[in-house]
């Protein structure tokens, strides 16, 4: 079994901040309805991934003022595991978003992000189907960026919807 290299407290603090930013960017892009974010992170030499699940409910009209609901314990568990993956270079994993689709369409829509060497990159629809396809009737679509947008760094208003701070 491989020995993980320790990371500094400063590096973990940055990863934790990035994890909450990633989750806020993700929540800001959700349409009204039910969603589930799942994350699996494996450290080098580990056989089974550590996992976290974050159920989300979005109520509203599809505007930035929509109410995003998340239970605090699930939100913090997801952020902690994501921070571990973002801080540790010897980790890899997959984060994916499963959203319930409207009636008549596939059972759900799935987007995925690949975590490798402290970077979370969006996957194409084909990559998402390969990584998380489980035979379920789902529509795999290209993922969007969950990292800071260029306009955020120019001093513009943050992407966080006001409701990203609302925890059930």
pLDDT at 23: 95
pLDDT value of residue 14: 95
Beta bridge partners of 39: 52, 95
CA dist 34 and 108 (Å) reads: 10
Residue 101 is predicted with a pLDDT of 62
What phi, psi does 160 have (nearest 5°)? -55, 125
* Contact yes or no for 131/96 (Cβ under 8 A): yes
- Residue 65's pLDDT is 79
- pLDDT at residue 128, as a whole number: 92
Domain range annotation of the chain: 9-165
Positions of the chain with pLDDT under 70: 1-4, 101-106, 134-136, 148-168
What was the pLDDT predicted at 160? Answer: 41
The pLDDT assigned to 74 comes to 96
pLDDT of amino acid 153 = 46
For the entire predicted model, the pTM comes to 0.82
């Amino acid at each position: 079994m491989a020995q993980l290299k320790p990371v500094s407290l400063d590096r973990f603090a940055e990863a934790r901040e990035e994890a909450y930013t990633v989750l806020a960017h993700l929540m800001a892009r959700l349409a009204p309805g039910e969603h589930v974010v799942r994350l699996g992170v494996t450290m080098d030499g580990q056989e089974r991934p550590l996992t976290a699940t974050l159920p989300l409910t979005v109520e509203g009209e599809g505007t930035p003022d929509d109410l995003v609901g998340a239970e605090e314990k699930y939100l913090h568990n997801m952020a902690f595991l994501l921070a571990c993956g973002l801080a540790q270079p010897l980790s890899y994993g997959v984060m994916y978003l499963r959203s319930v689709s409207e009636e008549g369409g596939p059972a759900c829509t799935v987007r995925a992000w690949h975590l490798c060497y402290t970077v979370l990159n969006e996957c194409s629809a084909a990559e998402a189907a390969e990584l998380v396809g489980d035979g379920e009737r789902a529509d795999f679509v290209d993922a969007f960026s969950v990292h800071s947008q260029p306009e955020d760094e120019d001093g513009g208003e943050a992407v966080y919807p006001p409701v990203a701070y609302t925890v059930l």
